[in-house]
Amino acid sequence: MLAVASIASFMVALDLLVVTTSLDSMRRSLGADASELQWTVTAYSVTFASMLMAGAALGDRFGRRRLLIAGLAVFVVGSAMAALSPNVGLLLGARVIQGCGGAIVLPVSLAMVVAASPLERRGAAIGALEGITGLAVIAGPVVGGVVTQQLSWQWVFWINVPVGVLAIALVLAVVPESQGEARSVDAIGTLLVAGTVFAAVWGLTRGNDAGWGSAEVVGVLIATAVFGVGFVAWQIRAPRPMLSPQHFRSRQFCAGVVAAALLSAALYGSVFFMAQMLQISLGHDPIGAGLRLLPWTATRLIVAPLTGRLSDRLGVRPVMLTGLIVASTGFAWLAAAVDPDVSYRRVLGPLIVIGLGMSASLPVSQAAVIGAVPAGEVGAAAGTVNVLQELGGSVGVAVSVAVFVAHGGYTDRAGTTHAMGAVFLGCAALAAVAGVAAAALPQRHRSGRATSRDEFTALAGSTQP
């Protein structure tokens, strides 16, 4: 069962970063501009985040085996549609379908493993699943580069089809049905939060082209506010809210989720352009770009466990604040290093520094939020921070694209490189503001309670790069 869950989770997590080294090939093949290209990432991540908690609830209510098969089937269909897409519009629709499938597969796989594992082996099982998921995130840029260069960008999506079919066959063969506590799905909350983020991203990406004072952009931003206020009002009165309002009474919880969302905005905004920088500015092929991103992604394997132990000893605020300062410094360094004559040797140091800062900050931000609530509410709190991280990342990509287009966008090599430097400087600012939020955390976070089953699940459920 762990092997089946690992295959399913690996496939879904791989799609978070596998497209990064394919973006330049997609842009040239489909004739997409920067705004259209960012939706290939945003359409997936917004749908994934909006449906994540609903996917977990559906699995508990209707059966995890049944929902896992359904989620895998939806993901496979979405992947095939993406590979066959002749234009950007159809590709974006396919990415939305992929996001729906992924939002079912990932939490249901995790819940299935937790339910099936004996208590004394649960930590090891979840750790193994988390390790496989983390490996998928690390391997994403390299796999995307190899597949794009040796085959085509369409095969980034085609590879999901045989893997998904194999996973479905294994689920049918070895996985028994299991259910959890029947929970209602906050359908209204899901629609409102998706509407809020889609409207915000639309307004940000259209601002440069249509004009920030145009009726289209102003109208969309007003719609963002309406959806956002409607979501908050609904969460206050909903019987089973997606985001529990009572959690936001805690200073630690509020500071933690704001810092985590801003950190994800900086992270996703930079990820969108890093592989493109290596290909357009430095002239590397997709495989070379993917391999040269490894010093950035692989820091997670070393740093994340160390910072977890440090936060237990020192508290989350100093560790998280230090990580964000390091990340912001790395982004600023990268922005200064990127110019028309840039070489990989000059960007290697900033990439490592950014990786160190991000790898230190992300798990600690999750621990800060989870430590702010009672043990019985850990699952809901973890769901909140995972949703807000993904949504923050989607907005971060939109902000980065808006900055990129405002500074020239895709022109010649020199102009594109200059615009990317402005993006990385913007990411430094986002990380710095996240540091301001982290400074509001209490000096010591809540401790002294054993890690619960829900907390193990929560800590293992992150797919952040």
Q: What is the pLDDT of residues 28-40, one digit of tens each?
A: 888 877 777 778 8
pLDDT tens-digit series, residues 348-395: 989 899 888 887 887 777 777 766 666 555 556 666 677 777 778 878
CA distance 25 to 247: 44
pLDDT at 433: 92
Give yes or no for residue 453 having a pLDDT over 50: no
Give yes or no for residue 19 having a pLDDT over 80: no
The more confidently predicted of residues 63 and 424 is: 424
**Residue 212 phi/psi, 5° resolution?**
-70, -20
Give just the sign of the alpha carbon dihedral 22, 26, 29, 32: negative
CB burial string 206-233: b at 16+ within 10 A, e below: bbbeeeeeeeebeebbebbeebbebbee
Per-chain mean pLDDT for the chain: 79
Give yes or no for residue 455 having a pLDDT over 70: no
pLDDT tens-digit series, residues 309-329: 777 677 778 888 888 999 999
CA distance 92 to 40: 6
pLDDT at 408: 79
Reported as a pLDDT band with limits 50, 70 and 90, residue 427 is very high
Greatest mean pLDDT among 49-58, 201-210, 429-438: 429-438
pLDDT at 55: 78
pLDDT tens-digit series, residues 215-227: 888 898 899 899 8
Reported as a pLDDT band with limits 50, 70 and 90, residue 122 is low
Greatest mean pLDDT among 101-115, 387-401, 410-424, 440-454: 410-424
From residue 187, alpha-carbon distances to 58, 192, 320, 324, 421 in Å are: 11, 9, 34, 35, 41
Query: Residue 305: which of 130, 121, 434 has the closest Cα?
Result: 130
pLDDT at 398: 81
Weakest mean pLDDT among 132-136, 150-154, 315-319, 392-396? 132-136
What share of the chain in percent tops pLDDT 90? 10
Reported as a pLDDT band with limits 50, 70 and 90, residue 458 is very low
Give yes or no for residue 65 having a pLDDT over 90: no
CB atoms within 10 A of CB 41: 23
Weakest mean pLDDT among 88-97, 107-116, 254-263? 107-116
Greatest mean pLDDT among 2-6, 34-38, 338-342, 415-419: 415-419
Give just the sign of the alpha carbon dihedral 292, 28, 99, 1: negative
pLDDT at 138: 66
Give yes or no for residue 243 having a pLDDT over 80: no
pLDDT at 194: 78
Give yes or no for residue 127 having a pLDDT over 50: yes
Reported as a pLDDT band with limits 50, 70 and 90, residue 305 is low
CA distance 76 to 162: 8
Per DSSP, 245 falls in state G
Write down the pTM of the prediction.
0.76
What share of the chain in percent tops pLDDT 70? 82
Contacts with 338 (C-beta within 8 Å, 6 or more apart), sequence order: 277, 281, 347, 417, 420, 421, 424
For range 255-267, the mean pLDDT: 85
Query: Residue 431: which of 217, 270, 220 has the closest Cα?
Result: 270
For range 417-444, the mean pLDDT: 86
Give yes or no for residue 119 having a pLDDT over 80: no
Give yes or no for residue 207 having a pLDDT over 70: yes
pLDDT at 75: 93
pLDDT at 45: 78
CA distance 413 to 223: 37
Give just the sign of the alpha carbon dihedral 25, 30, 31, 37: negative
CB atoms within 10 A of CB 448: 4
